Structure 1
Amino acid sequence: MEKSTDYKSGWLGRWIAARHMALAGYITKIIMIETGLTYKQVRRLYQDIENDGYELERRSRTFRGGATLIHSHTSKIQASLLMQLYRNIGGEDVIRSIDIKALNKAFRMYHAIRKEVPGMKGARWVPFDITDAWCLASELRCGDAMLEQCDNCECTYFTSVNQRTCVECPFCVADKSKAA
């Protein structure tokens, strides 16, 4: 066992971070990437968590990217909201590396906003899970996605090179469809 007193980079810090991520619903592969733990260690962690009486809420099992996550203007609006919250909380550094604490906080805020906005319910507004949030943040970090500012409405929106929708501002598109 590695001996370290550094909470953030030591073995104990990585184990605690992995536990928090597992309880938040991250998939095994993401926990391994972010903490450096092995598959076997993460499986053991899951057992420990379940033995402690907690229920794991992993909804998805795979990575998804802009091609599958951003398929309509409503999903683009949601991605924009989530990633703008993430950047506001984590600062400009989120473009260079994923900040799990900032991402978790942004994800909780995203869901709180979804609960308060009556129009963000229903089949057209399928919510992102925490794995989806990490995948969007990963695209932002590696340069496959960016936050752009609309010249027309001045809103910031998320756009991915892999998305299956138009590149224009989703807020302006939503506005145009309401007016029609």
Structure 2
Amino acid sequence: MQRKSLISDECPIARSLERVGEWWSILIMRDALHGLRRFDEFSRSLGIAPNMLTRRLNALVEAGMLERRAYSERPPRHEYVPTAKGEDFGMVLISLVAWGNRHYAEEGASVELVERKTGRPVQPTLARADGQLVAFDQCVLQAGPAASAGMRERLALLGAKP
């Protein structure tokens, strides 16, 4: 029981997956970040059952990823707009696109991220706060200021910096 608590309470990956790790939630966020806003738009795009779409939209609103805004009083209708937290999720989606293209698109990429101005392909990268690029193999996890003793122990097992 302690292990589950440590993983879900402190691990940023586990915390994130609790909120958006479900298949439909990720696809709803993809569509919302591409401009879809209304229930019928999500339904048409995804082919998702209405009851499942309602549950996932409510969960994303509760998680602070989407904001529900009324656009009609009669009948009552809402649109779902990404919050700043939801907009930040775009980087996760772009990383999934790049990873999926690299490993699961034997026939070639069906979607690519390109620079708007030039149309040239773009890849997600890691950079320091000053903008200097850093290779993934030059990075290591380390315990943050709020890490518990249990998290520090877990990170030590992974070879992370104390």
Would you call these one fold, judging by a TM-score over 0.5?
no
Task: Tell me which structure has the larger Cα radius of gyration.
Answer: 2
Structure showing greater relative contact order (alpha-carbon pairs closer than 8 Å, 6 or more residues apart): 1
Q: Taking structure 2 as the reference length, what is the TM-score of the superposition?
A: 0.28
Q: Name the structure with the higher strand share.
A: 2
